[in-house]
Amino acid sequence: MQIEFKKVPFSKKNFQINYNLVNFEGTFCKMSQELVKIEATISGTLETICSRCGKDINLTLNENIELIVSDGVYSSDEDTELDIVETYDGILDFDDILNGELESIKSDYHICTECMGDSQMLEKEF
Ligand SMILES: [Zn+2]
């Protein structure tokens, strides 16, 4: 799903997209001509691999995200703790944003239940 920056309203609008088994839904609205705020939930199941043994695992997602999409380089002087996503073609692309979020979730450390069992046994041995 894509929407042109200039068509994004200043009042909150709902959106919802699905990607495989992942559901991405929430609201978006303009904060200024160049900035759009997204408040959303990512839920569902994401396939990834165990960081230790490489086995396929399914992560159950339930993440609240809040981020700002900037049309062009983000140049506000205001400090923000929100994640900033910059885009350069004047398009707000929800699929891109979701993919970015999923990649960052995948890059976290995830281990399968077997490896989890291993490390618990190791801890008991010590
Ligand atoms: Zn494993």
Question: What pLDDT does 75 receive?
Answer: 81
Distance from the alpha carbon of residue 117 to the mean position of ligand 1, in angstroms: 9
Higher local confidence (pLDDT), 29 or 79: 29
Question: What pLDDT does 126 receive?
Answer: 54
Cβ neighbours of residue 9 under 8 Å, at least 6 residues apart?
29, 30
Structural domain harbouring 94: 2-125
Distance from the alpha carbon of residue 51 to the mean position of ligand 1, in angstroms: 7
Cα 13 to chain center, whole Å?
18
The predicted-structure confidence for 58-74, as pLDDT tens digits, reads as follows 999 999 999 999 999 99
Q: Domain total for the chain?
A: 1
Q: Tell me what percent of the residues of the chain surpass a pLDDT of 70.
A: 94
Q: What is the CA radius of gyration of the chain?
A: 18
Tokens encoding 104: 């960052």
Distance from the alpha carbon of residue 68 to the mean position of ligand 1, in angstroms: 35
Question: What pLDDT does 64 receive?
Answer: 96
Nearest to 102 by CA among 73, 59, 68, 66: 59
Q: Model pTM?
A: 0.84
Distance from the alpha carbon of residue 52 to the mean position of ligand 1, in angstroms: 5
